[in-house]
Chain A
Amino acid sequence: MVKVLMKGNEVIAEAAVHAGCKYFFGYPITPQSELVAYMAKRLPEVGGLFLQAESEIAAINMVYGAAGTGVRVMTSSSSPGFSLKQEGISFLVGSELPAVICNIVRGGPGLGNIQPAQSDYFQVTKGGGHGDYHIPVLAPASLQEIVDLTQDAFDIADRYRTPVIIMGDGMLGQMMEPVEFYEAKPKEVPKKDWATTGTRGDGGPKIITSLELNAESLEKHNHHLQAKFKQIKENEVRFEAYETEDADYILVAFGTVARIAMNAIRKARQEGIKVGLIRPISLWPFPEKPFIDTRDKVKSYITVEMSAGQMIEDVRLAVNGHAPVDFFGRTGGVVPTQEEIYHKIISVAGGVEV
């Protein structure tokens, strides 16, 4: 297969088409608008349908309707728009409907700006909407990884009947890299015998709902959801560990920040400082194992984020007091530089500032 040079947002869209997604309901918002435009052009070519909704709220509810018929369906947005989708996402979880939602994160809070950020980490990993839930969140660091993870996102959604979030930052959405698409091996996903497509030929009426007025019944449903989340935690953790075996210091970063951190690590290694990287790829379920494996050996972890420090809370939980956890972050759309991260490593390592 040949490599093609594409923009991140377009790669997500094309990868979704390769994953069998034929329906997309979206609303324009920078910096993910190319995704919407790509789908508008592309989906009719594969016999699918693109519809521009009147709002992000309508878009996620159109996704809810389409998902209920059993098709692979997707929507995307960026932070302020993603906030608007929370109600619908909570309903998708409650009604157990599979869908893929992409959040190309920008600076916040409020209208913020259109620069890259990771400050929606809490929102995507801790539930986001009302109720007791988690959603699988995949955070690619490169455009090629988007291709793999988008396929995974649809498979996970179908396998567990859950919405799945693909989280990138504005940089990932806007950058161009060569990527290679491939026909994915069809994954075993359960038959969607719960879909509401009319009862002709399939017995009695089916109901899709998240309402359960009886407290004991709703608790039972919540226990069922929790059991599913536990299963997802057991099966769907993804991470990359880079040079952590001999590391005295381990950086923790995800998405594009991990790539910048990687360069800082190489420079520090040249200076003789043993630094490694843990890159969570699934932000939820958060990868605890690489921390358990390293927390009694390292001198310190350094979490690097494009936020005021959100993932650091999960890092601390995984480290569980076995080692100090330091932090370096830039917010508001400022991207941390390789030098800044390098200097942070030096300062934590007790070396002389270069």
Chain B
Amino acid sequence: MITVYEKTKGLTDKPTHYCPGCTHGIIHRIVGEVLAEMDILEDTIGVASVGCSVLSYEYFNCDMTQAAHGRAPAVATGIKRVLPDRFVFTYQGDGDLASIGMSEVIHAAARGEKITVIFVNNAIYGMTGGQMAPTTLIGQKTVTSPEGRNPNIQGMPIRISEMISTLDGAAYIERVSTHDVPHIAKVKKAIRKAFETQKKGIGFSLIEVLSTCPTNWGIDPIESLEWMKNNMIPAYPLGVYKNIGERE
């Protein structure tokens, strides 16, 4: 019998707690696969954040630390500065990174910390029950923007990849999406590129992964993928925003 597909060594056997149809599982698997394929699982320390992915420390098959809300890039800085030859990544959602943790991620990027940030953007707070995030789209209904996000009341969404890429310390910044198989393949390529950037010691890397939240968007998983493609990608265009390695 030929094995055509199997569980990656990069993940533990622990069943995840994610809702059906949520794309966190795909992103977890890809991060795990990349760590395993680069053979750096044993040299990696991951930092879990606060939000839906808070328990990711139970799923990644490497040393893990759980950080306070938004502080993962600062915690990762502390680890990486002590252990510069190890791989350090954070796994953060849009509430954690783009709202309460904005300061930490900007300064980690500005300092050119040689860490990798996996930034999962699903335009909503999932864990707390569907509140408005800094990345919530104009017109998008959440429990704290029940009439739809109104720029005059709740302000405009934030584009993290564009913003971080303006910083000199940022080495590799790319936005990718999980809405279909070809794009999922690109997610893996991007995450691999980010860890390779870290390996080469070039600087800060961040991969923004557009993700779904069927539960709090209130639509089924298939519809969620469509919604993401049709609404999120126009607001958050995919692509490489910074690639210092290539420029040099």
Residues of chain A whose beta carbon lies under 8 Å from any beta carbon of chain B: 23, 25, 49, 51, 53-55, 57-59, 61-69, 71, 73, 87-88, 91, 95, 196-201, 205-211
Check B82 against A49 for contact (C-beta < 8 Å). Answer: yes
A205: chain B residues at CB < 8 Å are 12, 60-64
A217 to chain B, nearest CB (A): 13
Please, which residues of chain B bring their CB within 8 A of the CB of A51?
A: 77, 81
Q: How far is the CB of A56 from chain B (nearest CB, A)?
A: 11
Contacts of B58 in A (CB 8 A): 207
Task: Known contacts A51-B81, A207-B64; decide if A198 and B86 are in contact (CB<8 Å).
Answer: yes
Contact A210 B79 (CB under 8 A): no
Q: How far is the CB of A350 from chain B (nearest CB, A)?
A: 54
Given A197-B45, A197-B63, A58 and B82 contact (CB-CB distance below 8 Å): no
Q: Is the interface of B mostly helix, strand, loop or mixed?
A: helix
Write out the residue numbers on chain A whose beta carbons fall within 8 Å of the beta carbon of B57: 207, 209
Q: Is the CB of B62 within 8 A of A198?
A: yes
Q: Are A196 and B64 in contact (CB under 8 A)?
A: yes
The smallest C-beta distance from B110 to any residue of chain A, in angstroms, reads 8
- What total of A-B pairs shows CB separation below 8 Å? 132
> How far apart are the CA atoms of A197 and B45 in the complex, in Å?
7
User: Are A198 and B75 in contact, CB atoms less than 8 angstroms apart?
Assistant: no
0/1 interface trace, chain B 68-92, chain A, CB 8 Å (1 if under):
1001001111111111001000000
Set A69, A91, A200, A201: member contacting B79, Cβ < 8 A: A69
Number of interface residues of B (CB under 8 A): 37
Chain B positions within 8 Å of A, measured between CB atoms, are 12, 41-45, 47-48, 54-55, 57-58, 60-68, 71, 74-83, 86, 103-104, 106-107
B64 touches A65 (CB 8 A): no
What are the nearest 10 A-B pairs in CB distance? Answer: A65-B78, A61-B74, A62-B78, A209-B66, A196-B63, A65-B75, A66-B78, A54-B107, A200-B42, A61-B71
Q: With both chains docked as a complex, state the minimum distance between the C-beta of A285 and any C-beta of chain B, in angstroms.
A: 27
A-B contact pairs, 26 of them (CB 8 A): A23-B78, A49-B82, A53-B107, A57-B74, A58-B74, A58-B104, A61-B68, A62-B75, A64-B78, A65-B47, A65-B74, A65-B78, A69-B78, A73-B78, A88-B71, A196-B63, A196-B79, A197-B45, A198-B62, A199-B62, A200-B42, A205-B60, A205-B61, A207-B64, A209-B65, A211-B55
Using A205-B12, A206-B64 as known contacts, list a sample of 10 further A-B pairs with CB atoms less than 8 Å apart, ordered by residue number in A. A49-B81, A57-B74, A58-B103, A61-B104, A62-B81, A65-B74, A65-B80, A198-B43, A200-B43, A205-B64
Measured CA separation A91–B49 after assembly (Å):
13
Enumerate chain A residues within 8 angstroms of B67, measured Cβ to Cβ. Answer: 61, 64-65, 91
Contact of B82 among A71, A91, A209, A210 (CB under 8 A): A71
| CB neighbours of B80 from chain A (8 A) | 65
> Closest approach, in angstroms, between the C-beta of A131 and any C-beta of chain B?
12
Q: Tell me which residues across on chain A come within 8 A of B62, comparing CB atoms.
A: 198-199, 205
Q: Which residue of B lies closest to A23 (CB)?
A: B82
